[in-house]
Each structure stands twice: as C-alpha cells, then as structure tokens.
C-alpha cells in the first residue's frame, strides 16, 4: 500500500475571535496520495481554506496530527515548516499575494533562490513564459491585471516543481474567461511537474473535474468520493 | 513629529525672552546706575564733571583696567593677570556686593595697619595661593586681601575679560604707577537720576554738549548691549538649529501624510466613484491633516514654553545672566506660527496626491510606481508657504541675513538629500537586478525593497540625513576651529603681549628682551586708543552703519615709515619728514566694509581730543596671526604731544616666554604681560563649551530625525508584515527575513550618513572659508562616527519594527487580505 503524501488524524483547529474561540475544524482525518488531484469544496465558513492552511503548515492544528511527506508538522518549528514548503510545496491564493515591491520575474525567482537553486532567474523566466507572460517579466504587480497577477502567482508556486500544489480559490477574483485560463494552466503545470494538487473551490463542476472530491460541512468532511 | 522642532524653538525663544526681560528689569543694577558715561584712557574733565553733577542726584566714578597682581618678590614671586576695578565711596549706586566674609564694602577697602584693603575674586586668590589677610602688589602699591568677591551686580560677562576681578579704592592706586599718561584704562561715571528724568533727552544733551569727547553713553534700558547682542546671536543661531529640526519634522509630516493618504486610497476611490469631486476630497483630508498639525503644533509650543519654566531652578544657577523665567506669549506664538506654516508646507505636496487617485484604484492593489508633479496651484501654494515661513523667520529672528543663508542652506541640503535618496533608490533597484545578487536572496530583497515602490528611502534619508548633516557640520566646524586655535595659531602667534610700556622704558625693554637667546623676534609700536566719531563730517554710525570698527575704541599707532612687511593696497605712505595736516593709513578690508575711499576725512577722538585726518592710503592688516595690527596708523606729527605707551609682542619658545614674563614684570611693575598661550587655551575652552551647546541644539534635530525614522518604519510595518508572511509561505526562514530587514535599514542609514558627511563637509567648508576666513580640512573621525550613527539609528529602528514581521502568522496575515 503506498504511503500518503499528506495525512490528517483527528485534526481540530480553534481560532480566537472577537466573540471568543471559534472551532473551525472539528476533527478531520484524511489521507492524500502522491499525484492525486483533490477538489475541496463546501459552503463559505465550512473550513476549506483553513484545512488547506493546515496541510501547508501555514496554520497549526489545535489538536490531532498533520503529517506531510512523512514529517509531523506539529513538532516542527516555524523555520522547519518554511523549509518544508520551500522544498516540497507551492501555494496559490485567491488574492494572488505577490510581493508588491518585486517585479513579476523577481516574485517567481524568489522561491527558487530560497531553495538555493542555480539559475533561479532563468528558470523563473521560463516559468513566466510557460504561463504566457514573457513580455511582462519586468512589470510590478500593480502594473498587471488580476488575471496576469494570478498567472505570476501560479508560476511562482510551480517554478520549484513542488510535490504538492495547494490552491485556495485561485479563480475567486477573476472573470470567467480568466478563471478558465488559470485552471487550464494550473492543471497543465501540475501535470508537467507531477505534483499533487489540492484545489479549494466553490465551483462544483471544477471540483468534480478532480480525481477526488471532498466536501466540507461545518468543519467536518461531509463527502469524500472519487 | 515637527512638535519637537516647535518645542525646541519655543524653548529657546522663551529662554531668550526670559534673559532679555531679566536684563531689562535689572538694567540699573547691571549698569551700576540709571545711566553711564564712559571715557577711554582719561578721567572726565571739569566741564564733563559739571554736566554730570548738574544732571544727576548722585555720581559714582569707576575705573577699569588690567594689571598684574604680584605676591611675594624675587624669583619666587607669583603673578596673575587681573581686571582691576577702582571705585569711590559712592559705589555701588544700585545693588550690593556679596562678600566672604560678609562685611561692608567700606570696611573691605579701608586702611588697616597702613595697608589698603582689596577684594579678590576667589579664582584669583586660588591662582596666587593667597587668603584673607595676605598682601599683594598692584604696580608699586601694596594691598591686603580683605574679602573674596562672591557676586558683583554690575559685572555680567561681556566678552573679553583678561583676568579675575580685583576691587580697590581708586585713591589707593595713586602711588601704584599704573595710571600714568597713555595707560590703557577706562573711566566710567554712573549716574543716579531722578525718576522724572528723560533718559533720551539726557543722552542727546550729553552727546550734543560733549560731542567729540569720545564718550560712550549707556543707560538702564539697554544696560549691556554686548551681552544683549550675544544672547540675541546665540538665541538666533539655536533657533536656526530649531528650524532645521522643523524641516526634519516637516519631512516626517510629508511622509506620514503620504502614508495616511495611501491608506485611504480605497476610501478616496470610493468617494470619487460616488461622485465626490477633487476639491471636496482634498478639502476633507486637508481638514483632517490641518487639525492634526494644529494640535501637534499647540502641544509642541506649550511643552516647549513650559520646559524652561520647569528647568528654571537648575538653569538659573548656571546662567551668568539674570533671567525672568515664566511663560512668554511671544516666543510661544512665534514657534506655533512656524509649526503651522511648516506643517502646511510639508503636508500639501502629499495631500495633492488625493487629486491623482482615480476610482480605478478600487480594482487593483495600487502601489506608487512613478513620480509626478502636483498641479501648478499646489506648487504655487507650497512656494507661498515656504516664502512666508522663511520671510517670517528672517523678520522675527533679528538676523535676516543669517536666517536667509541658513534657510537657503537647509533648502540646499534638503535638495541634495532628496537627489541622494532618489539616487539611492535607483542604485538599489539597479543592483537588485544584477546577476551578482542572484542567489543572495536577503541582499536582493533588501536592495529590491529600498529601490522598489513603497520604499522608505526618501523620508529616511531626508530626515535622518538632515539631522546628521547638522551634526556633521557642527562637528567639522568645531574641529577645524579647535585645530586653528590649538595647533595652527600658536605656530605663528607671539608668546606674550606686553602693554603699557612707557616711552622711557621701551628701548631698554627691547634690549632686555632681545638678550634672551630663546626670543626669536620682538615687535613693538607706540599705541594710543581712539574712537572714530565722524566720517567726512557726519557722525560715523550714520555714515557707515554699526560696524565693529566704530563700536568702542580702536588701537592707533604712528610711524614715519611703513612698518616692516607693510603692504599698501591703495594710496601712498607719507614722506618721512611730513609735518602737514594729519594723514591716516586705514586697514584695507575694514575700510572697504565701511565704504571709505582715499581722501575721505575721519575724525578720531583720542583722549578727549578730536583729530581729523585724511585717508592717505589703505594697507593690508592680518589679524589672524595674533601679531600687532592697527586699524589706524597716523603720521607722527598728527599725534604729537598725545600721551601714549607702547605695545610689544614677544615671539619665543615657551620657556623663554616665561623667563621674559618674570623678568620684565619684575623690572617694570607698571607693564602688563598677557600670555597668548593662556588666552588660546581659554578660547579653546570657551569654544568647546559653545560647541557643546550647539551640539545639544543639533541633537534636537537628530532626535527629530530619529522620530521621523521610527515613524517611517512604523508606517511601513504593515507592508513588511505582509511581505514576511508571503516569504514564509515561499519558504524563507526568519533569520533570512531578519537579515533582509536589517540590511535594508543599514543601506538607508549608510546612505543618510554618507550624504550627511558630504553636506556637512560642504557647509562647514563654506562657514570656515567665508565666515571664519580660515583654512578647512576634513576631519575623518567624526565623519566616520556620523555614518556609524546613521547605520546604528536605522538598524535600531529596523530591529524595533522587525518583531511583528518575524512573528507574523502567514495564514492569518494573508487571510486578512483575502
């Protein structure tokens, strides 16, 4: 039996809110295997993005165990988690989250540089070319459209050829045409690098186009089907 | 942020006003009478005495001169320079002497066991190692120390005093041989006048009746003009430093308003989407920013005015001048006015950005990527505010020329710093794109951040750079002046000045001094003192203004032939046998400043006699070498019969100088020898104290700069937290993020420090060359420390605001922006 690349055992997440603690994830157990594409869906506030953050080590579980690539994330410090993401994960956000003081090329080259890869800028340039932004490499984020910014974010996430791609509603801020183009690029890049993809989306059709569909309901898995 | 500048200006202005009011209130006590008439090197004659007696209730005669107090005799005798005050039985008309032991002045100066009493300043007693009851000599007269002088109401420090005070009865000096013909002394007549007397009328009466007598009039309304001038100048200079602080604070305002407007981009875009026109939006934010400026200025002005009041118990004891500490409205309002104008001036440019924000900003993460000039109306308004601020400052400071130069200097430095900051941004951006930085993520991030949009480089380099520039300027000037005084000057200056050498003594004196093998050169010249009263028949001050040459008396010499090394610039020296109407050779530079030409007539009052002389030539006079230099040199027959003495300078080794001092002061008790070396050391000490005071003033500018720096760092914290969250998501360790944050701080500090050295170097060079007319050389140690301070300050601010980005949870930060 293959080892899961990501695994959650009875994971809970409680965050402090203005009105007191709010339990977002209420005991989730699941396994993700190498090469899978998973569509994570559910109503707003069901905990989709929080679950994605837990899988990426961007949020710490209040209870339970999160394991990624054989490592227990709960026992790792912040720098160890950063190194894990650097070497194995790429994250795409709904609001792109590009660094505004860097050009498109610099944004994409940064994770490669952090990983100590040789020729980071050459690789970044190639990755930007792959997402159709060869003529925009010296532009700052504010000089790019929303669709272009998301393509830069995609190139940045996929450039280090990550084992796991985590995408949090990557089309949420885009129009239909741009959204479709981004999804095609995302799946293309995943295929090219053989990455595992976990895609948070409200679009049921998009989620169903993944190998596996997980539906969250009030912090719990409501449906998990292939 | 400019509150500190406003506070410092209010504080300095309040102290100045306190001193001015103190001087005014105690005018009569400081002057020693309601009015004072001074004559140089002579006593009042019968006509003058009659006038004074007729116009006063009481008159007191004081004489003032310098001499040597000698304790013991033979080779072990101790000598110290002292400023002797001879008084009469009416002294003091106002105020009280404070003596130790607390005895009456008549008892202190009276005769006991056949020896006249004298009052010694404690410093003099210490120098000569004498105590109450010990005896000493002034010239040929013997005195006994009867009391120590703790406070003298009519003696506030007024510049050049050569030694601590000795007070004796004038009558007791009769046999001293110190007040012979031509001796350098001044006589002062203090008048007590009726309350109903009109001092203006009295003055004009005295000057009319006794015109050409060389009298100098002062009255209680302006008891100590030289102190007043000194206080005004120091106050104005410190306010200039405060103005620099205001400019630094202004940069902080500009930066804060810019950050404020950036933060309101979405609101402004929404307002415009809903139909608000540009004027409405601008007015809305002008009211908000204007309100903050008003509150900040009011707080600054009030706190600044309260500081001297709070510190009064400590300052009053240290201050050698009377001061009426309290809350003074004028300096407070003045500072507030500067604060409001500076606040509006510096915020307007940033507020103009509200006009450029378009509704489209709602749809993308608007980041400044370019720079554009605001509309002409804003540029015009900025120019008007700047001109009003500078004009007002020039008018209110009382030193318009200095104020305008300083304002131009500050503006110049701001422009240089601005250009430097732009260059730093460009260079950092250029460097961040270079292949050499590829793979050095922390460095590339740092340079990219300094060179990219939302860079803090401009406010940081401007504010910190201006503060450091002021400090660098003060440091370089102080070092250069110290160097000039302590090292260059003594190499060309004489070892001793010897004055009051009588005609009968001069030849023997020269032979005696020349016999010492350690003496390299002796210069001597006959000397009289005189006041220039008229130029071409008009009162001198009316003809040529208030030039220092016309203020008080000047040295005059005479000579058949030009002295060795004399360089005439215009005209001719008189023939050696010339005996016609008086001719004068005038100092070239001072002559030009007074607007004098060949053939002009000047009238000089010498010992009460007016001598009208025609200017026959101008000659170079170099006062910087410390040698003999006279503004006026006349033909011998012009001064025939005028009693006078000789002045000599002795160039020698230090040891030989001491030998000469002992020898000539023993042989000629009437002469006074002044050690140039001691004077230089004294000036170096005074200079160090002044430099320290100015450095404290400059520190206010630096502190303001540092606060602006902190403000800029705080304003950029949100952006850095976001950047750190993204970098952590991409796999950056906290160490690497910290390194990047600190590197960008250090780059900006280094830039600010380097520009400050350049700006400080240029401005100190200009001051040394054009104001001090001296050589300039660059002092590297303080320069390096300035750069170091810049880096340290920015690193500190960087560290202070690094915690939030380092501790930020990426998920929460990024989610909050979703």
Measure in Å the smallest separation between the Cα of B818 and chain A Cα atoms: 6
| Whole-number Å distance between alpha carbons of B18 and B11 | 10
Is the predicted pLDDT of residue A196 greater than 90, yes or no? yes
pTM above 0.95, yes or no: no
Band of pLDDT at residue B487, cut at 50, 70 and 90: low
Residue-level pLDDT at B361: 56
Task: Give the orientation angle of helix B400-432 with respect to helix B376-397, to 10 degrees.
Answer: 140
- What would the mean pLDDT of A197-212 be, rounded to a whole number? 88
Query: Any residues with CB less than 8 A from the CB of B261 and at least 6 apart, and which?
Result: B268, B285, B350, B351, B353, B354, B357
Chain B positions contacting chain A at CB under 8 Å are: 363-367, 369, 432, 435, 438-439, 441, 444-445, 448-449, 452-455, 719, 722-723, 725-736, 809-812, 814-815, 817-818
DSSP string, B611-676: EEEEEEEEE---GGG-S---SEEE-GGGGTT---EEEEEEEE-HHHHHHHHHHHHHH-TT-EEEEH
Residue in B with minimal Cα distance to A172 = B818
Preferred mutation among A24, A82, A140, A175 to probe B, highest tally of B CBs within 10 A? A82
Residue B224 has pLDDT above 70, yes or no: no
Nearest residue in chain A measured CA to CA from B442: A114
Question: What is the pLDDT averaged over residues B452-476?
Answer: 81
Q: Do A113 and B810 touch (CB under 8 A)?
A: no
User: CA-nearest residue of chain A to B435?
Assistant: A121
pLDDT at res. B364:
47
B351 neighbors B282 (Cβ within 8 angstroms): yes
CB contact residues (below 8 A), chain A span 122-141, against chain B = 140-141
Over residues B173-177, the mean pLDDT reads 84
| Residues 165-194 in A contacting B (C-alpha not used; CB under 8 Å) | 168
Neighbours of B50 (CB within 10 A): 11
Instruction: Give the C-alpha separation, B629 to B235, whole Å.
Output: 32
Please report the pLDDT score of residue B369 as a whole number: 45
Q: How far apart are CA B183 and CA B647, in angstroms?
A: 11
Checking if the pLDDT of B517 tops 70, the result is yes
Cβ-Cβ contacts under 8 Å, A83 against chain B: 731, 733
Tell me, what's the pLDDT at B237?
A: 67
Q: Can you tell me the distance from the alpha carbon of B336 to that of B389, in angstroms, rounded to the nearest whole number? A: 12
% of chain B residues with pLDDT over 90 = 13
State how far the Cα of B10 lies from the Cα of B383, in Å rounded to an integer. Answer: 25
Element (H, E) at A69: none
- Contact assessment for residue B469 and residue B755, using Cβ atoms and an 8 Å cutoff: yes
| Contact state of B733 with A53 under an 8 Å Cβ cutoff | no
Tens of pLDDT, residue by residue over A15-29, are 887 778 889 899 999
Contact (CB<8Å) B438/A142: no
Question: Does this complex have an ipTM over 0.85?
Answer: yes
Angle at B381 between CA B375 and CA B384, to 5 degrees: 145
pLDDT in tens, B634-671: 999 888 778 888 999 998 888 888 888 888 888 888 88
The answer to whether residues B543 and B536 touch, using CB atoms and an 8 Å cutoff, is: yes
pLDDT of residue B167: 94
Least-confidence region, from B226-230, B503-507, B628-632: B226-230
Which among B315, B246, B400, B338 is positioned nearest to B16, based on CA atoms?
Answer: B315
Q: What is the mean pLDDT of residues B87-111?
A: 89
B487 CB neighbour count, 10 Å cutoff: 9
Return the H-helix or E-strand segment holding B62: strand B58-71
Query: How many Cα atoms are found within 13 Å in the side-chain-facing hemisphere of B115?
Result: 15
| Yes or no, beta carbons of B365 and A142 under 8 Å apart | yes
CA distance B817 to chain A (A): 7
Are the beta carbons of A114 and B729 separated by less than 8 Å?
Answer: no
**What pLDDT was estimated at residue B616?**
94
Query: In Å, how far is B692's CA from the nearest CA of chain A?
Result: 43
Are B99 and B167 in contact by the 8 Å Cβ rule? The answer is no
Tell me the three state secondary structure of residue A168: strand
């Amino acid at each position: 039996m293959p080892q899961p690349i990501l695994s959650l055992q009875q994971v809970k997440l409680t965050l402090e809110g203005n009105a007191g603690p709010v339990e977002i994830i209420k005991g989730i157990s699941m396994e993700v295997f190498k090469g899978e594409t998973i569509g994570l869906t559910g109503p707003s506030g069901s905990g989709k993005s929080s679950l994605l953050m837990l899988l990426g080590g961007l949020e710490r579980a209040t209870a339970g165990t999160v394991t990624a690539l054989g490592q227990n994330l709960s026992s790792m410090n912040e720098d160890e988690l950063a190194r894990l993401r650097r070497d194995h994960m790429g994250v795409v956000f709904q609001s792109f989250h590009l660094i505004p003081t860097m050009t498109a090329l610099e944004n994409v080259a940064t994770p490669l540089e952090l990983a100590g890869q040789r020729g980071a800028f050459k690789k970044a340039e190639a990755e930007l070319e792959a997402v159709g932004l060869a003529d925009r490499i010296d532009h700052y984020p504010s000089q790019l459209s929303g669709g272009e910014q998301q393509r830069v974010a995609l190139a940045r996430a996929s450039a280090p050829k990550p084992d796991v791609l985590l995408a949090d509603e990557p089309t949420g801020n885009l129009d239909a045409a741009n959204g479709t183009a981004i999804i095609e690029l995302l799946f293309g890049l995943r295929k090219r690098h053989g990455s595992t993809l976990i895609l948070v989306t409200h679009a049921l059709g998009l989620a169903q186009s993944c190998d596996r569909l997980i539906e969250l309901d009030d912090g719990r898995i409501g449906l998990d089907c292939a | 942020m400019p509150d500190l500048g406003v506070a410092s200006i209010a504080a300095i202005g309040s102290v100045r006003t306190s001193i001015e009011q103190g001087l005014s209130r105690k005018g009569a006590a400081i002057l020693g009478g309601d009015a004072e008439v001074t004559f140089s090197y002579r006593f009042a004659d019968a006509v003058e005495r009659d006038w004074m007696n007729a116009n006063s209730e009481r008159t007191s005669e004081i004489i003032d001169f310098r001499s040597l107090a000698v304790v013991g005799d033979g080779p072990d005798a101790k000598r110290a320079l002292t400023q002797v005050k001879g008084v009469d039985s009416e002294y003091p008309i106002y105020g009280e002497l404070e003596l130790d032991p607390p005895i009456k002045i008549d008892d202190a100066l009276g005769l006991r066991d056949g020896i006249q009493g004298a009052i010694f300043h404690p410093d003099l007693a210490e120098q000569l190692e004498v105590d109450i009851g010990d005896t000493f000599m002034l010239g040929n007269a013997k005195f006994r120390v009867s009391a120590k002088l703790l406070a003298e109401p009519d003696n506030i420090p007024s510049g050049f005093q050569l030694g601590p005070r000795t007070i004796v009865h004038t009558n007791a000096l009769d046999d001293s041989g110190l007040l012979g013909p031509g001796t350098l002394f001044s006589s002062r007549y203090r008048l007590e006048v009726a309350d109903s007397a009109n001092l203006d009328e009295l003055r004009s009466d005295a000057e009319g009746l006794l015109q050409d007598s060389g009298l100098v009039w002062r009255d209680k309304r302006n008891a100590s003009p030289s102190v007043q001038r000194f206080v005004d100048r120091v106050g104005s200079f410190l306010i200039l430093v405060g103005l620099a602080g205001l400019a630094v604070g202004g940069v902080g305002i500009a930066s804060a308003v810019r950050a404020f407007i950036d933060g309101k981009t979405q609101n402004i875009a929404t307002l415009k989407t809903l139909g608000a026109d540009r004027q409405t939006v601008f007015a809305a934010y002008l009211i908000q920013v204007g309100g903050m400026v008003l509150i900040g200025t009011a707080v600054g002005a009030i706190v600044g005015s309260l500081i001297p009041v709070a510190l009064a118990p400590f300052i009053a004891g240290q201050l050698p001048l009377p001061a009426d500490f309290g809350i003074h409205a004028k300096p407070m309002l003045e500072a507030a006015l500067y604060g409001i104008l500076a606040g509006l001036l510096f915020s307007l440019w940033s507020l103009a950005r509200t006009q450029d924000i378009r509704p489209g900003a709602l749809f993308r993460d608007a980041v400044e990527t370019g720079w554009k000039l605001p509309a002409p109306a804003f540029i015009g308004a900025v120019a008007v505010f700047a001109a009003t601020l500078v004009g007002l400052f020039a008018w209110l400071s009382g030193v318009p020329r200095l104020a305008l130069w300083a304002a131009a200097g500050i503006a110049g430095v701001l422009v240089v710093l601005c250009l430097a900051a732009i260059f730093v941004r460009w260079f950092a951006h250029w460097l961040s794109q270079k292949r050499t930085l590829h793979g050095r993520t922390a460095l590339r991030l740092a340079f990219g951040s300094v060179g990219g949009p939302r860079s803090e480089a401009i406010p940081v380099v401007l504010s910190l750079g201006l503060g450091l520039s002021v400090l660098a300027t003060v440091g370089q000037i102080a070092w250069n002046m110290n160097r000039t005084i302590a090292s260059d000057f003594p190499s060309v200056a004489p070892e001793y000045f010897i004055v009051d050498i009588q005609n009968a003594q001069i030849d023997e004196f020269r032979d005696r001094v020349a016999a010492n093998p350690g003496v390299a050169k002796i210069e001597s010249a006959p000397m009289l003192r005189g006041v220039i009263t008229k130029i071409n028949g008009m009162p001198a001050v009316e003809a040529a203004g208030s030039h220092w040459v016309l203020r008080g008396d000047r040295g005059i010499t005479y000579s058949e032939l030009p002295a060795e090394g004399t360089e005439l610039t215009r005209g001719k020296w008189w023939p050696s046998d010339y005996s016609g109407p008086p001719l004068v050779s005038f100092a070239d530079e001072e002559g030009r400043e007074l607007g004098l030409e060949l053939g002009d007539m000047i009238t000089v009052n010498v010992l009460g006699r007016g001598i009208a002389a025609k200017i026959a030539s101008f000659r170079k006079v170099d006062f910087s070498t410390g040698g003999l230099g006279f503004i006026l040199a006349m033909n011998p027959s012009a001064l025939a019969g005028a009693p006078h003495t000789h002045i000599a300078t002795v160039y020698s080794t230090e040891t030989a100088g001491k030998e000469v001092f002992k020898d000539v002061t023993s042989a000629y008790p009437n002469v006074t020898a002044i050690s140039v070396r001691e004077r230089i050391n004294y000036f170096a000490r005074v200079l160090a104290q002044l430099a320290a005071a100015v450095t404290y003033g400059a520190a206010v500018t630096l502190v303001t700069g540092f606060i602006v720096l902190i403000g800029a760092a705080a304003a950029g914290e949100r952006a850095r937290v976001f950047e750190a969250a993204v970098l952590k998501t991409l796999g950056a360790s906290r160490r690497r993020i910290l390194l990047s944050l600190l590197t960008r701080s250090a780059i900006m500090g280094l830039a600010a420090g380097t520009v400050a050295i350049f700006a400080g170097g240029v401005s100190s060079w200009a001051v040394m060359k054009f104001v001090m007319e001296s050589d300039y050389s660059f002092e590297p140690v303080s320069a390096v420390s300035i750069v170091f301070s810049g880096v340290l300050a920015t690193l500190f601010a960087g560290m202070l605001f690094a915690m939030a980005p380092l501790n930020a949870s990426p998920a929460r930060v990024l989610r909050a922006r979703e």
